[in-house]
Each structure stands twice: as C-alpha cells, then as structure tokens.
Chain A
C-alpha cells in the first residue's frame, strides 16, 4: 500500500528534527558544508526525477545559475528578504523550465543531454561577458533578512540553516510523494515504453515536460541557497559545464532509489570535495574523479544500494543458517 507516511517520510522528518537540534551545536564550517549539501542535493533530486524518466541532463547548472543570479539581480534591485529571494529564484528557474521544456521534451538520450548543456553554456557565455553582472568575476551577495528580521553573526548562519533545512525537507517530501502518484509513476512508464503510455491515454511528452519543470524548480531553489550561503555568484562556479557534471555525479553517487539518499550522496560529495581540496589541493579533482569511477564500476546503483545489498546478504545468511539448523534437526 502506498502510505504517505512511510519510511522515507519518517526518515526525512527525523532528519529535519535532528538537523534542527544539531544546528545549535554546529561549528561554522560544518554549517557551510551542510548548506552546500542541501543546495546541491536539491538539484540532484530534480535530476533523480529526470533519471527515472530515462533522461539525463548535462546542463542543469543553467537553472542553478539562474536561481543564483536572480538573487544577485534582486539584491541589486534592493530586495533582501530570504523568503522573497527563494520564491523568486525558484519561480524564475521554473518559468525557464516551462519555456524550454516545450522544446526539450521532444528530445531523448544524448540529444536531450547535449541540448541542455548547450543552453547552460549559452547562459555561461552571456554571464561571462556581461559587465553589470560582474562577468567572470561575479558579484557578491550581501546578507539577507528573514521576513523583515535582521540577524547577526552566528545567529544569522543558524537562521539560514533553519530556512534551508525546512525548504529542503518540504521539497524532498513533495518530490517523494510526487513519485508515488500516478504522474510520478509515469517516470518509469515513459522510460520503459512511451507507446504504451500514449495508448493508455496519456501524453509522454507532457509527462516529461512536467518532470523537467520540477527539476528546474528544484535546481533554482538550490541555486538561491548556494548563492546566499557562499555570499558570491560567478559563472565559473555556478554555470560552467563541470558544475552540471558534478550534479549528475551526485545523482549517480546517491543512487536513484530514494529521494532521501540524494542528500547523503550530496554530503559525501561535499565532504570529499572540501577535504580533498584542503589537504591536497592539487589532487582534489583526482579524488573526485576517482571516486566517481569507483562508483560507476563497482556500485552502479549508488550508495543507497549498499543498504539493500547488506539486507540481501543478511537475508541470505539468515536463510542459510535456518537451513543448517533444519538439516541438523533432520539428522537427529
């Protein structure tokens, strides 16, 4: 039965409560890692939805960057409230996805991936040259207010963290519930057999468009959170093609079995990146690349599959031991 309040719901809720409490004890660098994890994790959830539909995008930095730069532009216009920024950044990215989706929903396989990449590089090309947005140097992002309330120092960071985990929680839960609905199951259906979907009475392209919009919204939200966390936006760290590649990396790392797993994968990525960069700045890409290769070769269903692997082994071991017991008793 499809209970809405299933294991994932409780897992995510427990995570929310845990992080909320942990917030009071975190050191600043930990909080930063957490925030960046949430930002990237959101993008990866969108990519998970697309992956399940059989599609991969090598250009989601487009929406991420749009979300991030919307923050910059709105701050130039004088808007500083985190909730307004979140709403607008997400909405702008979502609208872009609505528009581009009409085009992109007709493409499949590598063409879909590359067309997304092309659009993200177009954005990069524009941002890298536009002076008023800082071109390749980017722009700084100033501190935000929380529904009119101004926070300072550590309280500010704590406030950001709370906002981020709440929004991430809502988004992840919404995505999870979405995937359990009829429309959500269309991810599998479209991936498996578009003709059958058509003959069952639904448009495969409309389904893809819906998922594309969802992925755009999530990536935009992630961009807003990243921009406010880092305090700076620039094309190279937010829109350039390796950024898109890293998002897909996280999706693969986590596995596409579970929405919650995406945050775990994002965290692993974040830790790898941060530590590799800190202790071995010449080889952090090597470590990242090596990790991705290991995952691709040995754990193709991502980290989440370790859980089911482990469960399978326990089940096999249990049945073996009960067989042995039965055999022993039989012998007597």
Chain B
C-alpha cells in the first residue's frame, strides 16, 4: 500500500490564534478520507497548508515521500496533489469547454511549449472525454457563469483532475447543493475519481454523505484532530459526538466499503 500523504506535527498560528495544532495523520492510496468538523475548526486551513496556499508554522508534509512544505500551489499541483474549492473557482465568462481547454493546455505543456496553439484536435478529444466522465457534456458550450451550482462544482473538480492527480482534496463538494441532488452529485464525482484512480479526501458537513462514501474520518475541533478512525467507529466516538455531529445523530448502518 503506497503512502500517499504523511503529515507530522503540523502547526499554524495566526498571531495569537491557533488554527492548527499537533496534526499528525497519513493517507494510503485508495483510501477515502472524510474531514469533518464545525466551521472554523481548521479543516480548510489544513487543506490550504497541504496544497501550499498557506505556509505552516511548524511540522512536515510529505506527498509521495517528497517534502512539500514551502512549495507553492502550482508546484504541488504539478506533483500530483490537487484540490477543489468550496466556491468553485472557474473562468466564469468562458464556456465549460474553454475552461477545460485552458486546464489541459497548462497541464500538457510547459516553457516554450505554452506558445503552441491551445485548441488542437486531439486536445479537443481529451477534453470531451473528460467532460463525459463527469457527465457535464451537455453543458459543453454553456458559459460557466450560467451553470447550475452542481454542474459548476463538477467543472471545478474536473479542472482539478486534468493532471490525473494521485491525491485530490475536495473542499465541501456538496455545499450549496439541494438535498435531493447531493447523493447523485457525489456518485458522479466518486465514480469519476475511481476511474482515474485518484485517492480522495473531502471536507463535508453532511454526515450521510460521509457515511456513504468514506472509509476513514478525521474529526477536527479547534485546530486539532480529535478522532482519526474508520467511519463506523468515528460516528459513535464520544468526542466526535460531543464536538462535531451532536448527540442526536443516529448513524446509518454502513457495511464496510463506502462506494457501493
């Protein structure tokens, strides 16, 4: 089993505020990790540090055995660690197709190669295949600004997976999506990521989603991880119930594998 991500004693202080403390976790290839916790508990800060957007105050982060502390997001992306955003970060005035095209253009070329034409025939085919995988082909020629929220989220994730990353961190993939659509959306996302053989970690507030898709749960509270356990165990853990999901939550009975 390949160790994809290894984090030791990660710390982040903003002046007097401790946003992250004593974070030691790891991820093996193929695992699906769910990150839960109240707002402000440090989940997005964690993602920002791992992807290079924020420098940690202390600690180490190793991705596929390589230290990534001090690297910028673009360098981390190129190594194969990508993320999606809670508010989808796309090029709003451009069509879905053009958004993906730019993503492919940057991924496939570097240096002087970037001066070659963007829209080529085989690149178009790769883009279309990718759109099909995320089931957003119908929206190919729609401007990103005009997309329904769910489709925009899929576009955001699709753009993040252009480089076929080894690990992807999704920041609240179903936030802002209606209850009826959440499961459908996650099914599409997880299916696509399985096909691409990407290890997945995502931040989620909806516990039903967590139970259905996740192998292991990390629960954050006030910058620390208060529980790192398989899903079933995490859902009944005392601390998790006290600080994250509440005492009233009744976990559904989940059999082993999350992706049925």
Contact = CB atoms under 8 A, between A and B. Distances in A.
Interface in A176-219: 177-178, 180-186, 188-189, 192-193, 195-203
B51 A199 contact: yes
Interface string B67-101: 00000111001100011010001111110000001
B54 interface: no
B178 interface: no
Contacts of B101: 185
Contacts of B74: 198-203
A180 B121 contact: no
B118 A199 contact: no
Given A180-B119, A199-B89, A203-B74, A185 B159 contact: no
Interface stretch (B23-31, B55-63, B107-115): B107-115
Nearest to B107: A201
A152 B162 CA distance: 60
A138 B24 CA distance: 69
A197 B106 CA distance: 9
B102 A182 contact: yes
A188 B107 contact: no
A201 B117 CA distance: 18
Nearest to B103: A200
B77 A199 contact: yes
A1 interface: yes
Contacts of B113: 182
B76 to A, nearest CB: 9
Contacts of B124: 1
A293 interface: no
Contacts, number: 86
Given A1-B121, A2-B117, A201 B77 contact: yes
A4 interface: yes
B2 interface: no
A191 to B, nearest CB: 9
A255 B117 CA distance: 23
Interface string A1-35: 11010000000000000000000000000000000
B220 to A, nearest CB: 22
A200 B114 CA distance: 14
Contact of B118 (A185, A197, A202): A185
B105 A185 contact: yes
A270 B159 CA distance: 45
Query: What's the interface size class on A, roughly?
Result: 20 to 34
A200 B72 contact: no
A201 B80 CA distance: 10
B21 interface: no
Contacts of B10: none
Interface in A268-296: none
A181 B83 CA distance: 26
A212 B59 CA distance: 39
Contacts of B90: 193, 196
A301 to B, nearest CB: 13
A181 B118 contact: yes
Given A2-B120, A193-B90, A193-B91, A200 B102 contact: yes
Contacts of A192: 91-94
Given A185-B105, A192-B92, A193-B90, A199 B73 contact: yes
B156 to A, nearest CB: 8
A3 B65 CA distance: 43
A180 B118 CA distance: 6
Contacts of B118: 2, 180-182, 184-185
Interface in A10-64: none
B118 to A, nearest CB: 5
A64 B207 CA distance: 62
Contacts of A181: 114-118
A10 B91 CA distance: 30
B114 A182 contact: yes
Which of A1, A182, A197, A203 has the most chain B CB atoms closer than 10 A to its own CB? A182
Interface in B105-162: 105-107, 109, 113-121, 124, 159-160, 162
B114 A198 contact: no
Contact of B159 (A182, A183, A200, A202): A200
A67 to B, nearest CB: 24
Contacts of A202: 74, 106
Given A1-B124, A200-B102, A200-B103, A183 B114 contact: yes
Interface of B: 51, 72-74, 77-78, 82-83, 85, 89-94, 101-103, 105-107, 109, 113-121, 124, 159-160, 162-163
Given A2-B117, A199-B160, 8 more contacts: A177-B117, A180-B119, A181-B117, A182-B106, A186-B102, A196-B91, A199-B82, A199-B89
25 contacts: A1-B120, A178-B115, A180-B117, A181-B115, A182-B102, A182-B105, A182-B106, A182-B109, A182-B114, A182-B115, A182-B118, A183-B114, A185-B101, A188-B91, A188-B93, A192-B93, A193-B89, A193-B92, A196-B90, A198-B74, A199-B74, A199-B160, A200-B74, A200-B107, A200-B159
Interface of A: 1-2, 4, 177-178, 180-186, 188-189, 192-193, 195-203
Nearest 5 Cβ contacts at the A-B interface: A182-B105, A2-B119, A192-B91, A183-B114, A196-B89
